[in-house]
Structure 1
Amino acid sequence: MKQSIRLGLVFLLGLAIAVTLSLSPSQGATPQVSSAVGPNHGSLSAQVSEPTPDAPTGSDPSAGLEPTSLKSFEETVKGLTVSQGLFTVYHDLQRNRAFLGLNPTQLNQNLLFIATLESGVGEAGLFRGWPVNDFMVQFRQIPDNRLQVAIPNALFRNSQAEAQQLLRESFSDSVLTTLPIQAINGETGELLIDLKDWLITRDPANLANQFPWVLGSYALNADASYLGPVKAFPENVELETVLGFSGGSSGADPFALALSSIPDGRGFNLRVRYSLSAIPAHPAFQPRLADERVGYFISAYRAPTRPGSSDPFVRYIQRWQLEKQDPTAALSPPKTPLVFWIENTTPQEYRAAIRDGIEWWNAAFEQAGFTQAIEVREMPANADWDPADVRYNVIRWSDSLYPWASGLGPSRVNPLTGEILDADVVLDASVVRDLAMEYDTLADRGAIARGEMALCGHPLSDRLMTRLTAPAAGRAVSPQPDTLDYCASLRAAQTNAFGPLAIATLAPPFSTREAKAAYLEQYLRVLTAHEVGHVLGLRHNFLGSTLLSPADLNNPAITQAQGMTSSVMDYLPPNLAPIGQPQGDYFPTQLGPYDRWAIEYGYRSVTSRATAQRELQSIADRATDPTLAYATDEDAYTMVDPRANAWDMSNDPLGYAEGQLAIAKAIWDRLDWFSVNPGEGYGQLRQRVDLVFFYYGSQADTMANYIGGQRFTRTDPWSSRGQSPFEPVAAAEQRRALTTLSQQVFAPNALSLSPELVNRLAPDRWWHWGEDPFSDRLDYPIYDRIVSTQALTLSNLLEGDRLLRLRDSELKQPGPDSFTLAELFDTLSQTLWTEVLNPPAEATPISSLRQGLQRHHLNTLTSLVLRNHGSGEGVTDFLGFVAQEATFGAPEEARVLARYQLRQLQEAIARHLSRQGQRLDLATLAYLEDAGDRIVKVLDAPLRGQ
């Protein structure tokens, strides 16, 4: 049992990590080059400012080579169609033959290689329009008539020739593959390589490693693979393959992912688009240095240490090239606007909202000095170009069975300068179904039954995954930078689907249809704006939701005048008005002040190179304005600042979360058989109850982050005149959060559903592809739902890093009123064990729910005392694993307090049994005797190492 629990969680969280890495462009992880230019290799030349990379010329790539054992050029291309552009392509697709022709001048030159899925399977990350990989590449001729496909190293640069030579010899390039030259044109020197060999046999996009969770159980079937259409243009070549995969899970591999969206799991096709393009030379483009107070994606390299600075890194923000038509005008159109095309597959009824979401950003560019910087066009139904063509920036519409993101905003960047060259946004049609509640709120019903899905997207998930992988690796595992995205699509779908459920359940009669339509339209706008913000260069800002007070959020006069949030780059939940109060907008209807300010930093024209840094510094120095506060993924990951959080709202997230708990309870109270629409079954009612449990736990997580919390501000010491980056959360706020959790989560009757409702929660009983009636219990697991919600909140409060911060807070905010480790432990103990520590005069049964919560607390204290993390000893279920692992890293002071509490509980249980044991019911008596015996064994057990 212990091993199966660990395997199940490894699969769930490992899959989440793999998915996160594949989706990282929405988090800003534009792939960077990963090797260095070596002797006789290509040039790293580019237009960069201080310092400018040198441009080694290398030697003549054809010197000393004789075209021996080569095929005749004329015979090789005979009968083939010739497509001329950046490269010449010779092809006969009916015979599955194609050759890429490279002129000698194109060797050792920087090119951009981009791979995109043009078709998918609708699940497991294999989605139409999704990016696979992109990198800067060079073709290099080597002896024996071969070409290397290599990634030059732009991570280490020095403008001094001798120093650059040392770097080239110290840090290697990445050589992806070596291709035989098929033929050489004796007159022009043009070289031919076999595209079938490169694109099909060699997997240049590294598909197998980009999607290991699904392609790991399949093999490329060369017989089922073939070349697709070829298009050659002056600045790019578009190539396509249809790759056949065969195999599938045999059942022997516990980590193999079974596909539900294909009719037979033994094989499928993927259509992959490869774009090979020149990196454009924009002499007017000047790389712009990053400032950590303004959230841009970054292209960085290590340079020689500069005078007055100990930082060896140069960091450029990623941004588009925009130049004013009139450089002297305060407001001017750009010479070349950014054009975004809405793909012709997008449903007509959603195009207006998507257009609005894109055009919102023109307001930000006006603050930066540009008018109509962005144009939106609709792709014609009979367009003669493809959305994956790198010359077009397209808002693409995809569809999937089990989506992993509502939207994705990848961009392709010149790694030498940070210039964004091409970008697409992928929107998934599932967002419409999700918001209409036409979906399973928890896709993996089997995982629900095992309890694992309760952790998906939970703050503890990444830390537990670290604990699982660290012992196997024999070393500590660093947190993944995209941790916040673990199971992000599930969390986003559930959070945003809660709004339509609240509308359907709580809205006044006859207004539901109009309210849902407004909700969907507002969500599509803000989703589009969020993803377009990414392709403009912006990272997430998880302080974006903290602009207004809870009272102002539903006042349209305020939200539509100054914005609902300071940034649309947050993960925003629906704004739901408290019970009995008028509902305002559900989502922002415009950009916020941070969005406009960030675009100003990235795109405002500077007077000259000499004054650029001073002018940009003056923009960044406005960061002290609270409306411009910025916190991104790595800030939210730490769970230090309770405001820097996804899916929260208002400048008082604690107070807002309290109101949302009231809404969740009101929905529970009103759900009944008549909540099921005609034509639906009770399975839909069951899903809605699950959705409320998820939402309730999410609000509890927001509150838990106040315990041991600190406000963190990205600040510059000089411009802020010594402002401290940290400010501990007031003890009164921490106590308020803990009191609310005690009353609304841990109290005996905090989570209660009527028996009538629970007995109506039958699942759907369909049995066919995509539906498995055996994946979950037939009856509703109400005990597991309630105890999991309580237990995960408790483990969040007693998580190891949080306990470390609480210990340190006594030194950061000393005083008699400080909130301490001892107060947290004592308050939780008094709340959770009141039946034993303060028993009523009459013998009172301890319900099974209270026993379950107390048992989780007891397991957590045991873990703290014994330090038995990673052992698996005594773990019989999922929550037992969580209790054992969540406290890893806790300080010695927490272990001492846990031991003290176990001793107090042991004495209290013994006292309670001696006084009322004869009058207690059998279940309570057996439970208390078992708890007392376990505590004795724990206190007598030897202490393990950390």
Structure 2
Amino acid sequence: MKNIVSSIVLIGLVMSVQTGYSQKKKNKNREENIPVTTDNSSQRDSSFKEYSNVITSLAISDEGIFTVHKVESEYYYEIPFAQFGNDMLWVTRISKIPDGFGGGYVNAGSKTNEQVVQWSRVNNAILLRSISYSNVANDSLPIHHSIIANNNHPIIESFKIEAFNPDSSAVVISVNNLFLADNRAISGVSESMRQQYKVKALEKNRSFINRMASYPENVEVRHEMTYSASEPPSNSKTGTISLEVSQSMYLLPETPMQPRLYDKRVGWFTLSQVDYGSDALKADKKTYIRRWRLEPKDPEAYARGELVEPVKPIIYYLDPATPDRWKPFFIQGVEDWQAAFEVAGFKNAIIAKEAPTPEEDPNWSPEDARFSTIRYIATTTRNAMGPSVSDPRSGEIIESDIVWYHNHIRSYRNRYLLETGAANPLARTLNTPEAEIGEMMRMVIAHEVGHALGLPHNMKASYSYPTDSLRSATFTQKWGLAASIMDYTRYNYVAQPGDEGVRWVRMLGPYDKYAINWGYRVISGVESAEDEKVTLNKWISDKAGDARYLFGSYNAYDPSSQTESVGNDPIKASSYGLSNLKIVAKNLKEWTSTPGEAYDDLDELYGELLSVWSRYAGHVNMLIGGIYQEYKTTDQSGVVYSHIEKNQQQEALKFINKNVFVTPDWLLQDDILQNIEASGALAKVRSLQSGQLSSLLQEGKMKRMIENEALNGNEAYTLSSMLSELRKGIWSELSDTKNIDAFRRNLQREHVIRLEKLMINDAKNRSDISALVRVELKEIQKAARSAAHRYGSDLMKAHLQDIDALVDSILDED
């Protein structure tokens, strides 16, 4: 009977710190001006019951950090006064959910709230308060009093004192109302879900506490909550939503871990505080990385450079629901990170284990805050996640639950076939060999473990390898597909038929080892986070100029920080990718057919093939109007932002005109289309091309091109040149009266419509965009009028006359 207690939202920790994090002591962190009475005589007035009259002989008790009691239908906490004022992390999770709840991305184990709390006493009331560390100052400084005055701790719940224990060292409170009332601070139903499902009220007669247990460092509670709802996600006739909520209250370390200052040149999840006690002439915002507390068992050996085991390793338990055949791959995915921690000086720093059986430990639970788990979720959702819970005082990660959704296997099976099938015989089936799919799952788990260790996505990692190197078996088997597994470089779609022995699936790379060393290596001889800065900066400087150690988040303007890309030449990589995709398209029906089955798999894979094609096009599209971003500090040479070279942008537009805006006959396979739909090919292609056209004619992209021309003159690829070359490509048939097929007519209409939208959006600003778009519309109109009379086809004439009239209406309205 071991589980979790109460929880609250981390996303808005709104409080103050009672003392500086590095000097914090237990008593100093307690709520100021709160009388904590321990005098026996003052506690024994007539308003309090005798302990034996509250905690009767019928009590079922469990001792731990608190003693928890069940007396018939009443639940009590017996809280020692020694725990008052201590920081406790309260986490709320959903342990059981109804079908369809949350739209597929909420599951058993999903965290809904997280917050630091403290217990305190005011007169005859026990208070549970929410504590924030957003604003701090050392308690020895005068400004500390202002921090307290301007960051009052909100009260979550107030409790009546029921009794004191026999030696007056602890207070007894009833917690039924905390868990059986609709307390938004610890609810499993978010405000958006309440609106979505039209939740009316909590049904108390159908809500109850299932379990309550106490451990040396945490208290665990599970309670069933039933809500009346007009539009529940499933079982609509019941008009209710029932879910089991898991609450964990975890004692945070008395002395917080020494934090490590964040540097944006190395990617980390972070937390921030405003230090009002800083000597800086401002409210000094300090950002710290989130990481596990790893301390060497033998500090002297560690200082000598020997590999040393940590005092407390990071341990992940496999969900008992994990299918046996996947367990070895999940374990490997976790322990792949051991090599990275060895670079940081730690041996066996991260370990994966199977969860104990009920016979081995009947009290083990994945919701227990002491355990980090890999949850295996039975759902149709196609995803995986690696969230974690951290101490807001220091960034110390306390625990994490990695989530694998069962149907994610399907995503990787499909993408493996589509992106590698042309050159990889093992991928040409829906029944991917177990070793192959297992390797993919291993690397997904490794990716999610990276998140749980504190690493965000590094989308620049794929750009660090030469594109042609990905066709080399020697290179890919040693270095993988990208410098980091934290990129979205899932498969090697560059390798061509005949490229033997190449690696097809991603793996950990040099950046991962570098980042783990940067974040986890213990720096000796320092007393504060500021003292570490010189060493941390040197570690970055030592790697300067090596693309493998760059970090970049996804953004809408940097072609070197894109998702799903491979290699440092998007044009070459997408050319290779499209070449492979054409081979796959020819064979897709054969590779997805199962005797006796309908064409559902073909339909699904064909839809995903179109998405892959669109991604390849998008990587090239991003070059036009693109800007490279490379984080730098003032002591480094070079600039942070630099425009893409003119000739590369011109080549990108040539690629798009040649491969994206032409009619994709290779996609229009009769044996596919005639087996999956009665019609729809025109709409599919129009949607794909329209999406790329919209991306190319983004207002932000166009503004960057105008600014580039203003700053760099002839060295810039001008917006007028891009618009002119785009027009010549899309309307190329008009110059020699070639047939304009239905797909191209759709694209030409879409081109005019997109230009019209630019005119409308720019109507107030009247920038160079409006002026250049007007020129383009007139050129299109002129060419359409001139060509209309040369076509013998009534349909061609009608199309061009319609374009003429459409442009007229746009310009008239303008």
Q: Which moved more, 1:302-311 or 1:532-541?
A: 302-311
Aligned AA for 2:394?
Answer: T
Deviations 1:414-454 (A, max 9, x none): 10111111222122222224434xxxxxxxxxxxxxxxxxx
The answer on 1:242 being equivalent to 2:224 is yes
The answer on 1:108 being equivalent to 2:73 is no
Which residue is 2:111 aligned to?
Answer: 131
Specify the SS of the correspondent of 2:460.
Answer: coil
Which ranges in structure 1 are unaligned for 5 or more consecutive residues? 1-29, 38-42, 250-257, 437-496, 763-778, 870-888
The answer on 1:429 being equivalent to 2:401 is no
Q: Which of 285, 288, 291 is the matching residue for 1:316?
A: 288
Which residue is 2:557 aligned to?
Answer: 640
- The 2-side partners of 1:152 and 1:578 are apart by 57
Q: Are residues 679 and 44 of structure 1, via their aligned partners in 2, closer, same or farther at CA, if it must alter by over 3 Å? A: farther
- Alignment check: 8 A CA contact 2:271 2:395 kept: yes
- The 1-side partners of 2:571 and 2:119 are apart by 56
Q: Report how far residue 605 of structure 1 moved.
A: 1.5
Specify the SS of the correspondent of 1:624.
Answer: coil
Q: Which moved more, 1:509-518 or 1:427-436?
A: 509-518
Deviations 1:813-862 (A, max 9, x none): 432x53111111111111122234x242xxx5533322221222111111
- The 1-side partners of 2:701 and 2:214 are apart by 57
Which residue is 2:541 aligned to?
Answer: 621
Q: Report how far residue 548 of structure 1 moved.
A: 2.3
Q: Could you tell me the TM-score, scaled by structure 2's length? A: 0.89
Aligned AA for 1:161?
Answer: L
- The 2-side partners of 1:117 and 1:340 are apart by 20
- The 2-side partners of 1:747 and 1:49 are apart by 67
- The 1-side partners of 2:459 and 2:753 are apart by 33
Q: Which of 552, 556, 575 is the matching residue for 2:469?
A: 552
Matches within 5 A, 1:647-686: 647-672=564-589, 675-686=592-603
Q: Are residues 693 and 268 of structure 1, via their aligned partners in 2, closer, same or farther at CA, if it must alter by over 3 Å? A: same
Q: Report how far residue 549 of structure 1 moved.
A: 2.2
Specify the SS of the correspondent of 2:243.
Answer: strand
Aligned AA for 1:859?
Answer: I
Aligned AA for 2:728?
Answer: Q
The answer on 1:48 being equivalent to 2:12 is no
- Alignment check: 8 A CA contact 2:210 2:224 kept: yes
The answer on 1:612 being equivalent to 2:612 is no
Q: Which of 723, 730, 742 is the matching residue for 1:848?
A: 742
Q: Are residues 72 and 932 of structure 1, via their aligned partners in 2, closer, same or farther at CA, if it must alter by over 3 Å? A: farther
Specify the SS of the correspondent of 1:369.
Answer: coil
Q: Which of 381, 389, 397 is the matching residue for 2:368?
A: 389
Aligned AA for 1:130?
Answer: S
The answer on 1:380 being equivalent to 2:274 is no
Q: Are residues 502 and 412 of structure 1, via their aligned partners in 2, closer, same or farther at CA, if it must alter by over 3 Å? A: closer
Aligned AA for 2:742?
Answer: S
- The 2-side partners of 1:306 and 1:76 are apart by 50
- The 1-side partners of 2:634 and 2:23 are apart by 26
Aligned AA for 1:828?
Answer: L
Q: Report how far residue 210 of structure 1 moved.
A: 6.3
Which residue is 1:824 aligned to?
Answer: 722
Q: Which moved more, 1:889-898 or 1:531-540?
A: 889-898
- The 1-side partners of 2:26 and 2:134 are apart by 13
Q: Are residues 749 and 419 of structure 1, via their aligned partners in 2, closer, same or farther at CA, if it must alter by over 3 Å? A: closer
- Alignment check: 8 A CA contact 1:48 1:416 kept: no
Q: Are residues 891 and 602 of structure 1, via their aligned partners in 2, closer, same or farther at CA, if it must alter by over 3 Å? A: farther
- Alignment check: 8 A CA contact 1:866 1:938 kept: no
Q: Report how far residue 653 of structure 1 moved.
A: 2.9
- The 2-side partners of 1:649 and 1:241 are apart by 47
Q: Could you tell me the TM-score, scaled by structure 1's length? A: 0.77
Q: Which moved more, 1:206-215 or 1:267-276?
A: 206-215
Q: Are residues 52 and 791 of structure 1, via their aligned partners in 2, closer, same or farther at CA, if it must alter by over 3 Å? A: farther
Matches within 5 A, 1:718-757: 718=635, 720=636, 722-749=637-664, 752-757=667-672
Aligned residues: 784
Aligned AA for 2:198?
Answer: S
Which residue is 1:6 aligned to?
Answer: none
Q: Are residues 501 and 908 of structure 1, via their aligned partners in 2, closer, same or farther at CA, if it must alter by over 3 Å? A: closer
- The 2-side partners of 1:747 and 1:223 are apart by 65
Which residue is 1:209 aligned to?
Answer: 190
Deviations 1:92-133 (A, max 9, x none): 5xx543122323333333110011222234542331222222
- The 2-side partners of 1:89 and 1:856 are apart by 67
Q: Report how far residue 386 of structure 1 moved.
A: 0.6
- The 1-side partners of 2:430 and 2:558 are apart by 38
Deviations 1:878-924 (A, max 9, x none): xxxxxxxxxxx9981111111111122222223233x336x332x33
Which residue is 2:313 aligned to?
Answer: 337
- The 1-side partners of 2:226 and 2:24 are apart by 47
Which residue is 1:170 aligned to?
Answer: 150
- The 2-side partners of 1:337 and 1:198 are apart by 35
The answer on 1:790 being equivalent to 2:689 is yes
Q: Are residues 745 and 248 of structure 1, via their aligned partners in 2, closer, same or farther at CA, if it must alter by over 3 Å? A: farther
Matches within 5 A, 1:476-515: 497-501=414-418, 507-508=424-425
- The 1-side partners of 2:48 and 2:770 are apart by 73
Matches within 5 A, 1:200-279: 200-201=180-181, 202-209=183-190, 212=193, 216-219=197-200, 220-249=202-231, 259=233, 266-279=239-252
Specify the SS of the correspondent of 1:672.
Answer: helix
Aligned AA for 1:658?
Answer: S
Deviations 1:186-242 (A, max 9, x none): 852644443331123114324332662776423433222211112211110111012
Aligned AA for 1:231?
Answer: A
- The 2-side partners of 1:338 and 1:511 are apart by 38
Aligned AA for 1:355?
Answer: I
Q: Are residues 211 and 100 of structure 1, via their aligned partners in 2, closer, same or farther at CA, if it must alter by over 3 Å? A: farther
Q: Which moved more, 1:187-196 or 1:928-937?
A: 187-196
Q: Are residues 346 and 831 of structure 1, via their aligned partners in 2, closer, same or farther at CA, if it must alter by over 3 Å? A: same
Q: Report how far residue 50 of structure 1 moved.
A: 12
Q: Which of 513, 538, 543 is the matching residue for 2:460?
A: 543
- Alignment check: 8 A CA contact 2:19 2:136 kept: no
Aligned AA for 2:292?
Answer: W
Aligned AA for 1:302?
Answer: V
Q: Which of 795, 804, 810 is the matching residue for 1:932?
A: 804
- The 2-side partners of 1:149 and 1:594 are apart by 44
Aligned AA for 2:723?
Answer: F
Q: Which of 356, 365, 381 is the matching residue for 1:402?
A: 381
- Alignment check: 8 A CA contact 1:32 1:299 kept: no
Which residue is 1:470 aligned to?
Answer: none
Specify the SS of the correspondent of 2:402.
Answer: strand
- The 2-side partners of 1:53 and 1:850 are apart by 75
Which residue is 1:328 aligned to?
Answer: 300
Deviations 1:3-22 (A, max 9, x none): xxxxxxxxxxxxxxxxxxxx
Q: Are residues 544 and 578 of structure 1, via their aligned partners in 2, closer, same or farther at CA, if it must alter by over 3 Å? A: same
- The 1-side partners of 2:150 and 2:162 are apart by 33
Q: Are residues 53 and 180 of structure 1, via their aligned partners in 2, closer, same or farther at CA, if it must alter by over 3 Å? A: closer
Specify the SS of the correspondent of 1:132.
Answer: strand
- Alignment check: 8 A CA contact 1:138 1:152 kept: yes
Q: Report how far residue 791 of structure 1 moved.
A: 0.2
- Alignment check: 8 A CA contact 1:113 1:134 kept: yes
Q: Report how far residue 652 of structure 1 moved.
A: 2.0
- The 1-side partners of 2:523 and 2:66 are apart by 37
- Alignment check: 8 A CA contact 1:338 1:375 kept: yes
Aligned AA for 1:615?
Answer: T
Q: Are residues 51 and 563 of structure 1, via their aligned partners in 2, closer, same or farther at CA, if it must alter by over 3 Å? A: farther
Matches within 5 A, 1:896-915: 896-913=771-788, 915=789
- Alignment check: 8 A CA contact 1:49 1:287 kept: no
